[in-house]
């Protein structure tokens, strides 16, 4: 294991992904933020990391496009010498009942949440150095079974399967693979389209009676990306005890 570790964080320009990128940089890792299109948000995150004394670069990447993903990994290796940690925080959440769900929306979520994670992990399996970690993002809503969440929860159930299988496929390489399953977390992705009553109700679903913060989730990622070497092949629920 090298003294200077390098992390790739998808969806690293906003929300949980930004908190993860900032936390890993604060932990001393060089960070490459992969973002879909919001260059202003990416620049803001990079500036925040550098202002705090960290090292980071941004790479605009369609994570479901294997050619772009390979190019992004190549750039990170040129810049920092290798890849130790890959965090797949990018995701799309579209809600609606199964009977009325737009199948184009289903395909969009599948492309980012499943294919994007798969493509990133496929390359990570070839590139991550021994002693590294691959961290995918799942969701606590799989256990809750809330109406309207079927398509999203199904996409994240696939992420759980990818994570547990890849952990076994990397036998002998000292690389951990886990999925982090947040509960309701105060991000734009979660808050969008919800009325105050719904937000208040969901904040009371856990015994701590509050929404999670992006920093709460980043704390678990920090553990899995660094000292948490004996946690492997798991889906870790980070939700204040909701389920």
For residue 188, the 8-state DSSP code is H
pLDDT value of position 188:
81
Per-residue pLDDT band for 189 (boundaries 50, 70, 90) equals confident
In-domain check, residue 202: no
- Whether 203 is in a domain gets the answer no
pLDDT in tens, 108-144: 999 999 999 999 999 999 999 999 999 999 999 999 9
Residue 29 lies in a domain: yes
* Residues classed as catalytic: 152
The percentage of residues in the chain with a pLDDT greater than 90, rounded to a whole number, is: 90
Q: What is the torsion angle, in degrees rounded to the nearest 10, for the CA atoms of residue 57, residue 213, residue 237 and residue 48? A: 10
pLDDT of 177 > 80? The answer is yes
- Asked if the model's pLDDT at residue 193 lies above 90, the reply is no
159 domain residue, yes or no: yes
Q: Residue 186: pLDDT above 80?
A: yes
Model pLDDT for residues 15-28, shown as the tens digit of each residue: 999 999 999 999 99
Mean pLDDT value across residues 230-241:
97
d(CA 103, CA 197): 29
What 8-state DSSP symbol labels residue 185? B
The CATH number of residue 116's host domain is 3.40.50.720
| Strand blocks (E) in 18-158 | 30-35, 56-60, 83-88, 128-137
Residue 192 lies in a domain: no
Q: Which domain holds residue 42?
A: 6-184+213-238
User: Does residue 190 lie in a domain region?
Assistant: no
- Output the pLDDT for position 190: 80
Can you give the pTM of this predicted structure?
Answer: 0.95
Residue 191 included in any domain: no
Burial grade of 144 (CB within 10 A; 0-12, 13-18, 19 or more): middle
Coil/strand/helix, residue 218: helix
Examine residue 90 and state whether it is found in any structural domain, yes or no: yes
Q: What is the pLDDT of residue 3?
A: 62
Q: Per-residue confidence at 1, pLDDT binned at 50, 70, 90? A: very low
Instruction: Report how many domains make up the chain.
Output: 1
């Amino acid at each position: 294991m090298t003294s200077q570790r390098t992390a790739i964080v998808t969806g690293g320009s906003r929300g949980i992904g930004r908190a993860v990128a900032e936390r890993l940089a604060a932990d001393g890792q060089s960070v490459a933020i992969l973002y879909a299109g919001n260059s202003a948000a990416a620049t803001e995150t990079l500036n925040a990391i550098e202002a705090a004394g960290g090292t980071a670069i941004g790479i605009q990447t369609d994570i479901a496009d294997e050619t772009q993903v390979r190019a992004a990994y190549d750039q990170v290796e040129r810049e920092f010498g290798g890849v130790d940690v890959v965090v797949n925080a990018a995701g799309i959440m579209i809600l609606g009942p199964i009977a009325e769900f737009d199948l184009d929306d289903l395909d969009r979520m599948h492309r980012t949440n499943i294919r994007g994670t798969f493509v990133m992990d496929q390359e990570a399996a070839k590139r991550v150095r021994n002693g590294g970690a691959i961290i995918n993002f799942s969701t606590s809503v799989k256990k809750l079974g809330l109406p309207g969440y079927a398509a999203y929860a199904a996409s994240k159930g696939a992420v759980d399967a990818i994570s547990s299988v890849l952990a076994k496929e990397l036998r002998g390489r000292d690389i951990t693979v886990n999925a982090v399953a947040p509960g309701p977390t105060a991000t734009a992705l979660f808050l969008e389209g919800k009325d105050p009553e719904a937000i208040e109700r969901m904040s009371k679903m856990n015994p701590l009676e509050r929404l999670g913060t992006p920093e709460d989730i980043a704390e678990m990622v920090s553990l899995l990306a660094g000292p948490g070497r004996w946690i492997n092949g798991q889906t870790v629920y980070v939700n204040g005890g909701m389920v």
